[in-house]
Amino acid sequence: MVADPLRLFDCSPVTDGAAAVILCPLEKAKSLTKKRIVKVAGTGHATDSIALHSREKITFYNSAAKSAAQALEMAGKKREDIHFAEVHDCFSIAEICVLESMGFYEEGKAGKAIAAGETQLTGKLPVNTSGGLKSKGHPVGATGVAQIVELVEQIRGEAGERQVKDANIGLAQNMGGTAASSIVHILEGC
C-alpha cells in the first residue's frame, strides 16, 4: 500500500527518460521526409486551482475537460472521431478521471469500461498503448513528448505489437499539479 487505496502498481514510477519530436511547417515536412506526415490538428490548455480541496469535485478535472474541448473544437473533431489516446495515468485513478472529464465516458463509468477491456488494444478506444506512465515510466519532463512520439508511431503504423488497427487520429492528454494544468493535443495523419 502506498496511499490507501492506491497500491504499488497503481502508482507510476518516476524514472529517467527522454523523448524528442521535430516540428516544422507542413509543406516543409513533405520535402524533408518520405515517412508519413503527422500534423497537429488541435491543441488545448486549461488550468484549475492547485489545491484539490478548492475544487467542487475531486474526481472531475475541469482542466482536462476544458483543454479537451478546446482541442476537439480546433481540430473540428468529435470524441467518436478519436481512434486512440494517450492519457496522463500518473496513478490508475487519474486515467479514469481524465477519460470521464474529457467526455469519453460518463462520470462513474470509465473504471468499469476499462475493466471490461474497452481501452485495450482491440477495444473501442485503445488508451495508453505505450504502456502509459505506470508501465512505461514517468520521466516527468519527457512524459508529454513521449505521448506525442507514441501518437506519431501509431499513426505511421510503426508501433509493431502495439499497433492500433487503422490508427489515424490520436489524442494526447498531459497534466501537472494534480490536474491544476492540462494540455491536450490531437494529431492526425495526412
Partner 1 sequence: MFSSRIWREKPQRYRLEANKCKKTGKVFFPPRLANGLQNREFEKVYLPREGTVVTFTVIHVAPGPFTDEVPYAVGIVDLGPAKITCQIVDISPEEIKTGMKVRLEFRCIQKNGAGGVLSYGYKAVPVCE
Least distance CB 24 / partner 1 (angstroms)? 35
Give the closest residue to 36 by CA, choosing from 152, 182, 136, 185. Answer: 152
Q: Exposed, middle or buried, 43 (CB in 10 Å: 0-12/13-18/19+)? A: middle
Per the rule left: phi > 0, alpha: psi between -120 and 50, beta: everything else, 162 is alpha
- Contacts to partner 1 from residues 57-76, by CB under 8 A: 58
* Nearest approach, Cβ of residue 100 and partner 1 (Å): 18
Of 6 and 115, the one with the shorter C-beta distance to partner 1 is 6
Separation of alpha carbons 176 and 38, rounded Å: 26
Q: Which is nearer to partner 1, 28 or 53 (CB)?
A: 53
Residue 31 binds partner 1 (CB under 8 A): no
**Which member of 18, 23, 34, 53 binds partner 1 (CB under 8 A)?**
53
Count of residues touching partner 1 (by CB under 8 A): 11
Half-sphere exposure of 48 (CA within 13 A, CB side): 27
Instruction: Candidates 19, 29, 52, 149: give the one binding partner 1 (CB under 8 A).
Output: 52
Q: Is the dihedral of CA 38, 130, 66, 183 positive or negative?
A: negative
Can you read off the three cell numbers belonging to residue 176? 501537472
User: Considering the rule CB under 8 A, would residue 78 count as an interface residue with partner 1?
Assistant: no
Rg (CA), the chain: 16
Q: Whole-number minimum distance, CB 66 to partner 1, in Å?
A: 14
CB of 115 to partner 1, least distance (A): 22
Min dist. Cβ of residue 3 to partner 1 (A): 5
Complex with partner 1: residue 107 or 158, whichever CB lies closer: 107
Q: 1 to 30, contacts with partner 1 by CB under 8 A?
A: 1-6
Rounded to 5°, angle at Cα 96 from 92 and 97? 110
Name residue 125's beta-bridge partners: none
Q: Which is nearer to partner 1, 49 or 168 (CB)?
A: 49
Residues within the interface to partner 1 (CB under 8 A): 1-6, 51-54, 58
